[in-house]
Amino acid sequence: MPGRTVVILGSGDIGLIMARRMTFEGCDVKACVELMPFSSGLKRNVVQCLDDYDIPLMLNHTVVDIAGHDRVEGVTIAEVDEKTKKPIPGTEQYIECDTLLLSVGLIPENELSVGAGVDLARSTQGPVVDENYETNVDGVFAAGNVLHVHDLVDFVSEEAARAGEAAAKYVISGKADKGTGVPVQEGFGVSGIVPQLIHPKQLTDQPVKFMFRPRDVYKGARICVDVDGKEVLRGKPHMIMAPGEMASLSVDSELFKKKGDISNVTVRLEVRA
Amino acid sequence: MEKILTCIGCPMGCQLTVTLDENGAFQSVTGYSCKVGKEYAPNEIANPTRMVTSVMLVPGSRTPLSVKTARAIPKRLIFDCLNEIRMATIALPIKIGDVIVPNVCGTGIDVVATRNLK
């Protein structure tokens, strides 16, 4: 074990699960410190990894100083202004610890993708793919955390199954004429959309599955899909959406096939006033 | 007596206020916004259970063995379960699903391997 008394910076799923793991292995986890006003992890993990072991979740807080020379001796944390995210002077508190665990976000590992000449998307920081999870390089497909960082392995499996199916088809039938790719844009409240591209010409009866992260916490938001600026789908309101839980929407492929030539698709959230 | 729980059903995380009788048994719950919370509260009071996962060293293997309880065990037994896992001895080879600790803490539930080791 790297230490005995631990402070964790970041309350995404990995920070939360590490809090429980460190507790299981005999550490005293003093606090989980989170810059945002909410945990970006699953609610289940907040309850079962922190609450179960009475580990405090310090929202709107960050680490402003680390004490110690050869070894961490403690950290100073402070409350941050909710808007500016800057530490508020006078709110500092010192926590003695011998380990600071940083769990401050994941991005896809792109070494292979870049080496293969795959285009990357700015918002997921992973490959740009179409509805079959095929990249801009013919015959190269991406799924799982190399594509975008998932919360749950079940969705990785589902995504991989579809990518695998498409890859098998490619191997058997060879390169198909995909037609023109239509970009999928991120509208209000949507970040990290996957797929970023649709090929209407090659769509089958299989629905197109969109996944993304809500930009913020929204109550009563609907997922809506526009084709060329016209709303074609208006989802049911979700009681709550949050960046910590990936949102998804399966869309009937007919909506993209019927339109003839389409030039763009937008996925957005609509929040009631 | 009252107890505060956070519902784990969705990101809403409703704060549930549970009323218990003098024996700690579930009486009623308020604060839920849907039936998930309404059903979660009595279960979480009467019989809170958790899956336990851990790793253990295996003589002759550089890689530790990852293990889990085959089903969720009572929450109060988590640390006893971890101790039994720590005390267990096991030899190579190991296959996924092999029972590492049978009937852990008398629960009738086994701790099983979640990877192969040769």
C-alpha distances in Å from residue B90, one per residue of A13, A98, B53, B60, B111: 31, 33, 17, 10, 12
Chain A: give the shortest CA distance to residue B118, in Å: 25
The domain limits of chain A are 5-102, 111-271
Domain ranges for chain B, please list them.
2-46, 53-113
Which residue of B4, B7, B12, B54 is the best one to mutate when testing the A interface, meaning the one whose CB has the most A CBs within 10 A? B12
pLDDT at B105 over 70: yes
Answer yes or no: is pLDDT of A272 > 90.
no
What tokens appear for A157 in the block?
A: 């499996």
Nearest to B12 among A24, A42, A240 (CB): A240
Interface mutation vs chain A, best among B3, B4, B5, B6, most A CBs within 10 Å:
B6
Contact check, Cβ <8 Å, B11/A217:
yes
Query: At a CB cut-off of 8 Å and minimum separation 6, what does B31 contact?
Result: B14, B15, B16, B17, B37
Summarize the confidence of residues A162-171 as an average pLDDT. Answer: 95
**How does the average pLDDT of chain A come out, rounded?**
93
**Residue A103 confidence (pLDDT) above 90:** yes
* CB distance A182 to A262 below 8 Å: yes
Q: Tell me: the pLDDT tens digits for A212-260?
A: 999 988 989 999 999 999 999 999 999 889 888 899 999 999 888 866 6
**Is A27 within 8 Å of A1 (Cβ atoms)?**
yes
- Please name which of A155, A127, A157 lies closest in space to residue A142, comparing C-alpha atoms: A127
Model pTM? 0.77
- Nearest-Cα residue of chain B relative to residue A49: B50
| CATH value of B53-113 in 3.10.530, 3.40.50, 4.10.280, 1.10.3720 | 3.10.530
Chain B residues in contact with A217 (beta carbon < 8 A): 11
Q: How many A/B residue pairs have CB atoms within 8 Å?
A: 39
Give chain B positions within 8 Å (CB) of A242. 11
For B5-56, write each residue's pLDDT tens digit.
999 888 788 889 999 999 889 999 999 988 999 999 999 999 899 999 999 9
Task: List CB contacts (< 8 A) between B13 and chain A.
Answer: 43, 46-47
Where is average pLDDT lowest: A76-90, A158-172, B21-35?
B21-35
Instruction: Work out the minimum CA distance from A44 to partner chain B, whole angstroms.
Output: 5
Prior bond of B93 cis (ω within 30°): yes
Q: How far is B78 from chain A (nearest CA, A)?
A: 9
Residues of A in contact with B82 (CB under 8 A): 24
Give chain A's end-to-end CA distance (angstroms, integer): 50
CB-CB: which of A47, A241, A242 is closest to B8?
A47
Chain B residues touching A43 at Cβ < 8 A:
6-13
One-letter amino acid of A255: L
Q: Considering only the top CATH level, what class is A5-102?
A: alpha beta
Q: Which residues of A touch B8 (CB under 8 A)?
A: 42-44, 47-48
